[in-house]
Structure 1
Amino acid sequence: MATRKIAILAEGALGWHAAKTAVGVIRYAPDTTVAVIDSTHTGMDVAEALQGPVGEGIPVVRDITEALTYQPDTLLIGIAPRGGALPESWRWQLLAAIEHGLNIVSGLHAFVSDDEELRTAAARKGVTIWDVRRPPARTRVADFTPHREGSHTVLLVGSDCGSGKMSTALDLNAEAQRRGLSSAFIATGQTGMMIANNGLPVDRLIIDFAAGLVEEQVLNFSHAHDWVFVEGQGALNHPGYSPVTLSLLHGSMPDALIFCHKAGQTAIDGYEQCLFPSLNRLIEINEEAVNWLRPERRSKVVGISLITNHLDEPHAREAVEQMMNETGLPVTDPLRFGVAPLMDALERHFAG
């Protein structure tokens, strides 16, 4: 697939968490991000707006009119407003983009191509609207088919949403390829799909078929590759999103897991009354959920990916050391310290 020149719409929300789609696309997509639209950070570059190491040199602009001066061919919606609908205040920007021949990529729960005005405008200009979250028409119930012998399926799980599951899976896939291994990444959410141009919008699948469609993807990828890194979603301990996590655990039937966590977090974001048990217990419940189905071949968490970008470097290193002491597992912040310790742990696990 040809690479795109993308303008990302992140109006009013260009931050690590609120604009995680924008951040993910900038960090990992093979496409070129030429500008980010956010009138509250106009005049900065993305790295300045994020106060971090991502997006240096990419300008933040006021609106689509200014973004067009950088000659994008695609407008990508890089944030997810509460409720998943298209804010009316954004409509003119999408219409202007379409009028100038830009394709639209959207991960919203509300499908842009179902909007009559936008669909008609796109048809008139001959541009495409990709609603990434639109689920496939096919259905499939999981049938518990074993993976190809010799292949290694690794699922990313975590303590909460936004705990680094997608980015760690992408980093591990890149590290495996650097080591000369045959590996692939399976996207299970809209951002990963925008980056990889493959995968499933698991949070839009009918629950009876979610595990089966994930299983189908994993079987296809594990037939072609020795290592398969499956992007995780949600968390088993999340009061709202645990079903999608369980579907991924049972659909992918991983041979190993990597656990993801934000240093210092003690409760589900937005559910402050929903406190975490110990990290060891969180790890244990994810292992148990896989091994309900396959007790004779136990899957385990072999390493921890830790988000520390809210800490200075000495405190980040202290958090990594503390987590290693608490769990007895290799720990790293892939963004800050690299993902090699996790790949080392996976290779040791499968060699043993």
Structure 2
Amino acid sequence: MRRIVILAEAAFTLHRAKTATGVIRYSKDKVVAVIDSTHAGKNVAQALNVALGEDIPMVRDINEALQYEPDALMIGIAPVGGALPPSWRWQLTTAIEHGLDIISGLHTFISDDEELRTAAEQKGVMIWDVRRPQGQPRVAKFAPHRSGSHTVLMVGSDCSAGKMTVALELERVAAQRDLNGSFLATGQTGIMISNNGLPIDHLISDFVAGMVEEQVLQLAEEHDWVFVEGQGALNHPGYSPVTLGLIHGSAPDAMIFCHLAGAKTIDGYENCPLPSLQRLIHINEDAIDWVRQDGKCKVVGLALMTVGMNDEEAQAAIKAAEEETGLPTTDVIRFGAEKLMDALQQHFSAH
């Protein structure tokens, strides 16, 4: 297990630092501190105003973080464009000088930075650029999965709609039920948590479906349930291509739809309104049926993010979504993923 300090200077919020919060919630590694001088003196729970990381201190900088004896520094944000903020360089340099490995999910690779790479080589520390693709590029062959295996893909209405969280919570419930399940990470945060996976937003578009297919086929040979982390959204004006490649590459047997309760437009695209949930569900089912053509892959449950609501408001939002879609609905963070796993097991027992 690593002892990680997370760097999220002036950016430690639920939305901007979802890499950090995902690792704090799910990683087997121990997060010993989070760097954000605007929250120094608090703990993670106080900084985020959520019940998470009550035992993890917020610190001013890497020098203060060193007292907690970390062995790795993780960059805890994924900014648009994916570049390292220039004001953060000294913190990475200091971390390397003290023998800390560097873990980065940025699109700009830290190991391609001559100064930082040379410093790491001199200190004998590792730089792990999580988004650097591994494996050989391949085009999808539309190969069938092992009979008896179930591949479940998380899709959604937007980025940051909880797709990774839902996949991890389903894997957790499957394990509790003694089901042989596995999580396939497809983004930098999921890879940091599972120490494996495929950074599909950094692959050449022709190879996205094929490399996802290869991973799913391997997992389906070993596991009865494969929970695939979704990315982007088919209706997203910026990230729809990666979503379509993931849908066709994973060739799911069922899908769970993820949505931020109350959202009206794509985040950051105020001129791009969201269609109805029914319409969004239909376009995802239709997209897989372009290649499957059997109509068997359905969205069988809805996962709502109800952040910012109290429990009564969350329950009302869940009830409204169930009435609108006719699908079992829950918030997996507030109420667990058991309802969704029940829906999946019932779906497959009927087919």
TM category (shorter chain) comes to over 0.9
Give, in whole Å, the separation in 2 of the partners of 1:16 and 1:45: 14
**Residue identity opposite 1:188 in structure 2:** T
Query: In the TM superposition, what is the alpha-carbon distance from 1:190 to its structure 2 partner?
Result: 0.3
* Match of residue 202, structure 2, among 198, 201, 204: 204
Q: Partner residue of 2:22? A: 24
Give, in whole Å, the separation in 2 of the partners of 1:236 and 1:257: 14
Give, in whole Å, the separation in 1 of the partners of 2:178 and 2:242: 32
Q: Partner residue of 2:265? A: 267
SS of match in other structure, 2:145:
coil
Query: In the TM superposition, what is the alpha-carbon distance from 1:323 to its structure 2 partner?
Result: 0.5
Structural RMSD (CA): 0.7
Give, in whole Å, the separation in 1 of the partners of 2:242 and 2:311: 34
Give, in whole Å, the separation in 2 of the partners of 1:5 and 1:228: 29
The worse-fitting range, judged by mean Cα deviation, of 308-317 and 57-66 is: 308-317
* Match of residue 238, structure 2, among 240, 254, 257: 240
Q: Partner residue of 2:225? A: 227
Give, in whole Å, the separation in 2 of the partners of 1:248 and 1:15: 28
Query: In the TM superposition, what is the alpha-carbon distance from 1:137 to its structure 2 partner?
Result: 5.4
Q: Partner residue of 1:80? A: 78
Give, in whole Å, the separation in 2 of the partners of 1:306 and 1:128: 38
* Match of residue 305, structure 2, among 304, 307, 319: 307
Q: Partner residue of 1:344? A: 342
**Residue identity opposite 2:101 in structure 1:** N
Q: Partner residue of 1:286? A: 284
Q: Partner residue of 1:109? A: 107
* Match of residue 165, structure 1, among 139, 163, 166: 163
The answer for unaligned runs of 5 or more in structure 1 is: none
Give, in whole Å, the separation in 2 of the partners of 1:297 and 1:184: 25
Give, in whole Å, the separation in 1 of the partners of 2:152 and 2:133: 24
Give, in whole Å, the separation in 1 of the partners of 2:166 and 2:91: 33
Q: Percent identity?
A: 65
Runs of at least 4 residues off by over 4 Å: none
Q: Cα deviations across residues 231-288 of structure 1 (Å, max 9, x unaligned)? A: 0000000000000000000000000000000000011000011001110000000000
Equivalenced residues, count? 350
Q: Partner residue of 2:325? A: 327
Give, in whole Å, the separation in 2 of the partners of 1:88 and 1:61: 20
Give, in whole Å, the separation in 2 of the partners of 1:157 and 1:170: 14
Give, in whole Å, the separation in 1 of the partners of 2:227 and 2:76: 24
Give, in whole Å, the separation in 2 of the partners of 1:81 and 1:244: 18
**Residue identity opposite 1:20 in structure 2:** K
The answer for unaligned runs of 5 or more in structure 2 is: none
SS of match in other structure, 1:292:
helix
Give, in whole Å, the separation in 2 of the partners of 1:167 and 1:137: 25
Query: In the TM superposition, what is the alpha-carbon distance from 1:82 to its structure 2 partner?
Result: 3.2
Q: Partner residue of 1:217? A: 215
SS of match in other structure, 1:184:
strand
The aligned runs of 1:45-194 (5 Å cut-off) are 45-136=43-134, 138-194=136-192
